[in-house]
């Protein structure tokens, strides 16, 4: 059916990449920005610290007062005030005086060093110092952490808790990020029903609904899932609506003869089909098109094929819509067993990597259990024949596909 | 202050681990279970496929009818019905007959093989077959994917989209998972205000609020953040309330002299302090206690110290509450520069790993910018002195701390 006009995976990816992406931005409260992608450079708005402050619990003093201090020649300073964190002192420090100060509290005017609590002795309202305190000792200087005007983070950064902390300190309570793509998922298949232990004859559990929701979520996008009957008019209506409402449409199923390729037909009717049939196994009937300027990924109904198609064709596109650029990180390792492949196709075989050996999961194409037994794909390109036990092969770890590796 | 009674990191971790965890479970809809931790074994409830079904678009037939088929001796079968996915046929197949069948549709009674659409020719209501079709060819047998009664996933599994798909197929629409811990976070500090470009004198931006929210979220738990003034009674009231309402309490700040260690005092008043002061740098004043049988992690106010304390003492505890067991994955690499350390303490230095060399970020303790310049910690234990450029040292990659590596 497709065998005559299957296109190589690379070509399919190029056609998919040719569909232009407009990155959308939004302004959100900083506390909601964890794992979001920064859509602006962060320029520091205020010096941090905003003032010279004490880095220790101790006493602010004038360093010059202590130049001669030693055990045999202790010096005594009068404590004239106390500054807690968040408070300021009204006193300007003059010779012979000290002010008790908390970590983080602003240095009182006139002072230029802090002596630690541990290094002094108390005598009534005086402190005894037996060692010279250096200029700026235990003072955090204004702007030494973040300097007003410097660019501290750049557009495209995926934000983590550390970043949020630094952005807050830089003076921001809101931040511009790339909008999460809204992804419409249309699951076709009259035979599909919700999970049940009492399946009617001919019915099958709609497992793709759960997988696709998770796959879209893991791509940092927002899934909107719908089940649609295998009927061209219904499908065309749904596709039309979803291509209006959402940024991307994904479909599953709709390629069996009795259904007359409803999904591909609907896409063709409403827009353009750019890819239909790729030299990949599993996943050969994968399609890609454009409706209302929105990309439409047409995946198989079989869960194993749909998962491979999402992994190879869809995920990185959705990430790119958020300014996240991922490449396939193929690594070489040794086959722990013979691996069969079909020549003329890119074979993507679920497998288990154990230490430095990879073992193909030997099942038929329709067997989804392999999903939970495997942790990587073996990649065998169009030109390579079977691989023998002990030979080298390329693998793609599932973990390497994730945004957060 | 603490130097006399600092305890080693290991001992602190042992004391923390000694506080018993009761894992809580909940039953949730399967579509919400992505990234949740399974709290039950998944026993397959129905055979998958639930019936013998066609693995191809083609024609269901009786394999024996084709035994003699060849190019020179084609055989002809009469097509008596058509079965779409989700439908069943009322016919029982008898010799000389075939039924058109869609991928996934149930094999009609009497049939035992499928010939692919591509391998036949049509002649009116007959199909022409020129090659033997093997018994069970292109038939997916009942139960060949999932067998009723088998255990397909075990308690403790972190669920991903592949797992959800297999659980759905196994007959489940809901699933039992470990409850996300509710984590109360009390940020203390009179000096702390929301991010602004107009800081009043003595005030500082409350950046910990953002960092802690994200850190708790990344630990798959639910944060409840509150800012509290440095006052023993207020603090004790808040702590009392949070230790009632939530599963874990985290505090930041409250160790400066002028505040009189309000957090530690409040914990001591309401419960028990098990740790106060650890031989770690930064993060020495870290505390840990129990109030209302709930663990209370008392972190520093300084963002750099609080982050280290969370990474070393808190995250893995929160994960363990969800049945996720993480260990610190120290790896050896080469110092790209001289690294200074304080003897007698475990030194944890923010650093940047570039290829196989690690470079310490040279800043003072209060400098949080290091958070966004670094990608790992250098670990230098109590007994090791400074490390020279080119010598080996242990590092802990930030990425290795995450649940999803």
Structure tokens at A67: 């130049």
Mean pLDDT of A93-102: 95
Return the sign of the alpha-carbon dihedral for residues B165, B169, B170, B172.
Answer: positive
Q: Tell if the CB–CB gap between A87 and B190 is shorter than 8 Å.
A: yes
pLDDT tens column, A115-146: 998 899 999 999 999 999 999 999 999 999 99
Helix (H) or strand (E) holding A270: helix A262-270
pLDDT over threshold 60, residue B5: yes
Strands (E) in A86-220, as ranges, are 97-101, 113-116, 120-123, 126-129, 139-140, 151-153, 174-178, 182-188, 192-193, 204-205
pLDDT at A384: 83
Q: What is the 8-class DSSP label of residue A119?
A: G
Mean pLDDT of B219-246: 95
CATH superfamily of A3-24+180-320: MoaB/Mog-like domain (3.40.980.10)
Q: How far is A7 from chain B (nearest CA, A)?
A: 19
CB A207 within 8 A of CB A271: no
Which distant-in-sequence residues (6+ apart) come within 8 Å of A266 by Cβ?
A: A232, A235, A236, A239
Q: Cis peptide before B49, with omega less than 30 degrees from 0?
A: yes
Q: How far is A148 from chain B (nearest CA, A)?
A: 10
- A26-48+144-178 CATH choice from 1.10.10.1100, 3.90.105.10, 3.40.190.100, 3.30.930.10: 3.90.105.10
Q: Which fold has domain B3-23+180-320?
A: Molybdenum Cofactor Biosythetic Enzyme; Chain A (3.40.980)
pLDDT over threshold 80, residue A1: no
Lowest pLDDT segment from A322-331, A340-349, B83-92, B308-317: B83-92
Q: What is the mean pLDDT of chain A?
A: 92
Q: Highest mean pLDDT: which of B39-43, B102-106, B254-258?
A: B39-43
Find chain B residues with C-beta within 8 A of A218's C-beta. 34, 160-161
pLDDT at A404: 77
Q: What is the 8-class DSSP label of residue A278?
A: B
Q: Tell if the CB–CB gap between A51 and B202 is shorter than 8 Å.
A: yes
pLDDT at B403: 86
Q: How is domain A331-398 classified at the architecture level of CATH?
A: Beta Barrel (2.40)
Find chain B residues with C-beta within 8 A of A50's C-beta. 199, 203-204
Q: Tell if the CB–CB gap between A104 and B191 is shorter than 8 Å.
A: yes
Lowest pLDDT segment from A49-63, A64-78, A167-181, B354-368: B354-368
Percent of chain B at pLDDT exceeding 90: 79
Give the nearest partner residue to B46 out of A171, A197, A307, using CB atoms: A197
pLDDT tens column, A367-389: 889 989 999 999 998 888 889 99
Q: Tell if the CB–CB gap between B369 and A172 is shorter than 8 Å.
A: no
Supply the angle between the helices A161-169 and B208-218 in degrees, to the nearest 10. Answer: 170
* One-character DSSP codes across A289-337: EEETTEEEEEE-SSHHHHHHHIIIIIHHHHHHTTT-------EEEEESS
Burial classification of residue A265, based on how many CB atoms lie within 10 Å of its CB (0-12 exposed, 13-18 middle, 19 or more buried): middle
Q: Tell if the CB–CB gap between B372 and A153 is shorter than 8 Å.
A: yes
Give the nearest partner residue to B195 out of A173, A190, A208, using CB atoms: A173
Buried b (16+ CB within 10 A) or exposed e, A301-329: bbbbbbbbbbbbbbbbbbbebbbbeeeee
pLDDT at A258: 45
Q: A9 vs A146, A275, A278, A345, B302, CA distance in Å?
A: 47, 10, 6, 9, 51
pLDDT tens column, B116-156: 988 999 999 999 999 999 999 999 999 999 999 999 999 99
Helix (H) or strand (E) holding A267: helix A262-270
pLDDT at B260: 58
Find chain A residues with C-beta within 8 A of B165's C-beta. 207-208, 210-211, 303, 307, 368, 371
pLDDT tens column, B34-63: 999 999 999 999 999 988 999 888 999 999
pLDDT over threshold 50, residue B258: no
pLDDT at B325: 94
- B53-140 CATH choice from 3.20.20.140, 2.170.190.11, 3.40.50.720, 3.40.50.1000: 2.170.190.11
Give the nearest partner residue to B191 out of A57, A86, A404, using CB atoms: A86
Q: Tell if the CB–CB gap between B166 and A3 is shorter than 8 Å.
A: no
CB A133 within 8 A of CB A113: yes
Find chain B residues with C-beta within 8 A of A364's C-beta. 55, 140, 144
Structure tokens at B161: 């989209």
SS3 at position A263 = helix
Mean pLDDT of B366-392: 90
Q: What is the mean pLDDT of chain B?
A: 92
pLDDT at A405: 63
CB A252 within 8 A of CB A187: yes
Residue with tokens 């232990």: A197
Q: Which fold has domain B331-401?
A: Beta-clip (2.40.340)
pLDDT at B87: 81
Q: Which fold has domain B25-47+148-178?
A: Molybdopterin biosynthesis moea protein, domain 2 (3.90.105)
Q: Tell if the CB–CB gap between A49 and B307 is shorter than 8 Å.
A: no
d(CA A355, CA A337): 14
Buried b (16+ CB within 10 A) or exposed e, B34-64: bbbbbbeebebbbbbbbbbbbbbbbbbbbbe
Which distant-in-sequence residues (6+ apart) come within 8 Å of B280 by Cβ?
A: B9, B286, B308, B309, B312, B345, B346, B347, B348
Which distant-in-sequence residues (6+ apart) come within 8 Å of A252 by Cβ?
A: A185, A186, A187, A188, A189, A208, A212, A299, A300, A301, A306
Write down the domain spans for chain A.
3-24+180-320, 26-48+144-178, 53-140, 331-398
pLDDT at B383: 84
Residue with tokens 């905003």: A50
pLDDT over threshold 50, residue B106: yes
Neighbouring CB atoms inside 10 A of B342's CB total 15
Query: Measured in Å, how far apart are chain B's first and last C-alpha atoms?
Result: 39
d(CA B203, CA B197): 11
Give the nearest partner residue to A88 out of B117, B161, B201, using CB atoms: B201
CB B391 within 8 A of CB B338: no
pLDDT at A209: 96
CB A85 within 8 A of CB A53: no
pLDDT over threshold 70, residue B218: yes
Helix then strand then coil, in percent of chain B rounded to 5, is: 25, 30, 45
pLDDT tens column, B151-188: 999 999 999 999 999 999 999 999 999 999 999 999 99
Find chain B residues with C-beta within 8 A of A55's C-beta. 364-366
> Chain B residue with minimal CA distance to A145?
B367
Find chain B residues with C-beta within 8 A of A106's C-beta. 201-202
Mean pLDDT of B304-331: 95
Give the nearest partner residue to B168 out of A190, A197, A205, using CB atoms: A205
Mean pLDDT of A338-347: 90
pLDDT tens column, A173-230: 999 999 999 999 999 988 899 999 998 887 889 999 999 999 999 999 999 999 998 8
**ipTM tops the 0.95 cut:** no
Split at pLDDT 50, 70, 90, the class of B112 is very high
Find chain B residues with C-beta within 8 A of A285's C-beta. none
Find chain A residues with C-beta within 8 A of B42's C-beta. none
Partners of A24 in beta bridges: none
d(CA A369, CA B146): 7
Give the nearest partner residue to A162 out of B145, B204, B307, using CB atoms: B307
Q: Tell if the CB–CB gap between B152 and A372 is shorter than 8 Å.
A: yes
d(CA B208, CA B304): 10
Which distant-in-sequence residues (6+ apart) come within 8 Å of B60 by Cβ?
A: B54, B83, B93, B98, B99, B101, B107, B108, B111, B113, B114
Burial classification of residue A221, based on how many CB atoms lie within 10 Å of its CB (0-12 exposed, 13-18 middle, 19 or more buried): buried
The values of phi and psi at residue B221, to 5°, are -115, 175
Return the sign of the alpha-carbon dihedral for residues A76, A82, A88, A91.
Answer: negative
Instruction: Residue A275: name the closest of A1, A79, A14 by CA.
Output: A14
Q: How far is A57 from chain B (nearest CA, A)?
A: 6
> Chain B residue with minimal CA distance to A173?
B195
pLDDT at A113: 97
The distance of Cα B20 from the centroid of its chain, to the nearest Å, equals: 22
pLDDT tens column, A221-231: 999 999 998 88
Instruction: Residue B265: name the closest of B235, B290, B222 by CA.
Output: B235
Q: What is the 8-class DSSP label of residue A271?
A: S
Structural Rg of chain A based on CA atoms: 32
């Amino acid at each position: 059916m497709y065998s005559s006009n299957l296109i190589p995976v690379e070509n399919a990816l190029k056609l998919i990449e040719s569909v232009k992406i407009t990155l959308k931005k939004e302004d959100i409260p900083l506390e909601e920005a964890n794992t979001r992608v920064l859509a602006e450079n962060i320029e520091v708005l205020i010096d941090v610290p905003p003032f010279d402050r004490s880095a220790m619990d101790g006493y602010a003093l004038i360093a010059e007062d202590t130049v001669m201090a030693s055990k045999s020649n202790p010096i005594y300073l009068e404590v004239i005030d106390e500054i807690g964190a968040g408070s300021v002192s009204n006193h300007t420090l003059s010779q012979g005086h000290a002010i008790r100060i908390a970590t983080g509290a602003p240095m009182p005017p006139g002072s230029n060093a802090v002596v630690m609590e541990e290094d002094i002795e108390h005598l009534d309202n005086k402190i005894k110092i037996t060692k010279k305190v250096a200029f700026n000792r235990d003072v955090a200087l204004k702007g030494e952490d973040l300097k007003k005007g410097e660019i501290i983070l750049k557009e495209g950064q995926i934000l983590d808790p550390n970043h949020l902390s630094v952005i807050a300190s830089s003076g921001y309570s809101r931040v511009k990020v790339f909008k999460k793509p809204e992804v419409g998922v249309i699951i076709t298949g009259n035979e599909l029903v919700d999970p049940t232990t009492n399946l009617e004859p001919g019915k099958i559990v709609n497992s793709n609904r759960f997988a696709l929701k998770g796959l879209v979520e893991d791509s940092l996008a927002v899934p909107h899932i719908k089940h649609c009957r295998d009927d061209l008019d219904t499908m065309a209506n749904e596709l039309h609506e979803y291509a209006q409402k959402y940024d991307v449409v994904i479909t599953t199923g709709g390629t069996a003869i009795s259904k007359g390729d409803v999904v591909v037909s609907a896409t063709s009717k409403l827009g353009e089909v750019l890819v239909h049939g790729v030299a990949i196994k599993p996943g050969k009937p994968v399609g890609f098109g454009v409706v209302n300027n929105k990309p439409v990924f047409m995946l198989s109904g079989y869960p194993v094929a749909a998962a491979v198609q999402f992994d190879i064709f869809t995920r990185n596109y959705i990430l790119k819509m958020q300014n996240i650029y991922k490449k396939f990180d193929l690594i070489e390792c040794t086959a722990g067993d013979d691996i069969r492949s079909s020549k003329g196709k890119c074979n993507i075989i679920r497998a288990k990597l154990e230490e430095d050996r990879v073992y193909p999961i030997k099942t038929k194409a329709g067997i989804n259990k392999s999903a939970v037994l495997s942790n990587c794909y073996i990649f065998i390109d169009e030109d390579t024949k079977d691989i023998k036990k002990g030979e080298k092969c390329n693998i793609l770890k599932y973990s390497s596909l994730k945004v957060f590796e």
